[in-house]
Amino acid sequence: MPLRSAWIAVLSITLLASISWAAPPTNWRNDYAAAFKEARTLNRPLLIHFYSSDCGPCVTMERTTLHHADVEQRLADKLVGVSINVSNHENIRAQYKVKGWPTDIIIDPLLNERIAESSGMRSAVDYTQSIDTAVDWYHRVHARPTPPVPKSPALQLGGYCPVTLLRDKKWVKGNPQHAITYEKQVYNLSSPEAMKQFQAGPEQYVPQFRGYDPVVIWDKKQHVPGSTRYAAFYDDQLYLFESQENRDQFKQTPDRYLSTRVVLDPDLLETIIR
């Protein structure tokens, strides 16, 4: 073979090798904090893959499983995945108490709870099945039931003025002469001024979930009216509960019942007791 042809052949082989070993496009993230935030924003589970560059099973899983088309498709459409090198992120490894690798943990970013966990080499089929199970569980937990709309207008808040309640944090009886019907619920306002404020933005004054207890909705999939005796404001929105126990339970983990993407300090939950 002529020398020029030999060099061309060597160059071609080198280029082919570099192309075959080039990192493929991937949906895996490598910034844990950013991935956690993205999962909360998109309302998806977070898959955390722990590995080490000197771990044989980790290398095999990287080549055969993590970038499989079915896995990448799920990372694009169903959850957020972040790959963590334990050698460089000891703090994250310690946070999740990971003792061996490869280890995969799927968490609920809204509740910051583990949905699933596995250790060791996983096939693409097994891996995708675990992802599908976790995603299904996540959406069933956070499926928000829609409270029923009353068939006929009913007096809400026991006749207390919702504007005075939000504005002054006081229980003041409204006047039936200043009544307004909103979403088939009647609200008695304390004055013409309060009526104008209510009409300008009723959503900020009416109880969330149309006055049904959110704890009962989530935990029992039932719609039980809350009571003004157990009312509470969270993020300047009013919630009614059927019992003190439910109100306390809501205060401890409000995200569990609201799936809100912004976690507030539970101590900021202002309770109103008649």
Note the pLDDT tens digit of each residue in 193-245: 999 999 998 988 999 888 989 898 888 878 889 999 999 998 888 999 999 99
Verify that 65 and 127 share a domain, yes or no: yes
The whole domain housing 160 covers 154-272
Verify that 164 and 90 share a domain, yes or no: no
Verify that 192 and 116 share a domain, yes or no: no
Task: Provide the number of structural domains found in the chain.
Answer: 2
In a domain, 149, yes or no: no
- The pLDDT score that the predictor gives to residue 184 is 85
The enclosing domain of 56 has a CATH number of 3.40.30.10
Verify that 162 and 32 share a domain, yes or no: no
Total residue length of the chain: 274
Verify that 44 and 132 share a domain, yes or no: yes
Indicate the SS3 state at residue 40. helix
- The pLDDT score that the predictor gives to residue 113 is 86
Verify that 89 and 184 share a domain, yes or no: no
- The pLDDT score that the predictor gives to residue 149 is 65
- The pLDDT score that the predictor gives to residue 210 is 85
Verify that 130 and 69 share a domain, yes or no: yes
DSSP 203-270: GGTSPGGGGB-HHHHHHHS---B-EEEEEEEETTEEEEESSHHHHHHHHH-HHHHH--SSPPPGGG-E
Residues of the chain short of pLDDT 50, as ranges, are 1, 3, 5-22, 260-274
Verify that 255 and 132 share a domain, yes or no: no
Verify that 126 and 158 share a domain, yes or no: no
- The pLDDT score that the predictor gives to residue 144 is 64
Verify that 14 and 65 share a domain, yes or no: yes
In a domain, 147, yes or no: no
- The pLDDT score that the predictor gives to residue 87 is 93
In a domain, 146, yes or no: no
Note the pLDDT tens digit of each residue in 239-274: 999 999 999 999 988 877 775 333 333 444 444 444
Q: How many Å from the N-terminal Cα to the C-terminal Cα in the chain?
A: 97
- Other beta carbons less than 10 A from residue 208's beta carbon: 18
Verify that 24 and 116 share a domain, yes or no: yes
- The pLDDT score that the predictor gives to residue 28 is 97
In a domain, 31, yes or no: yes
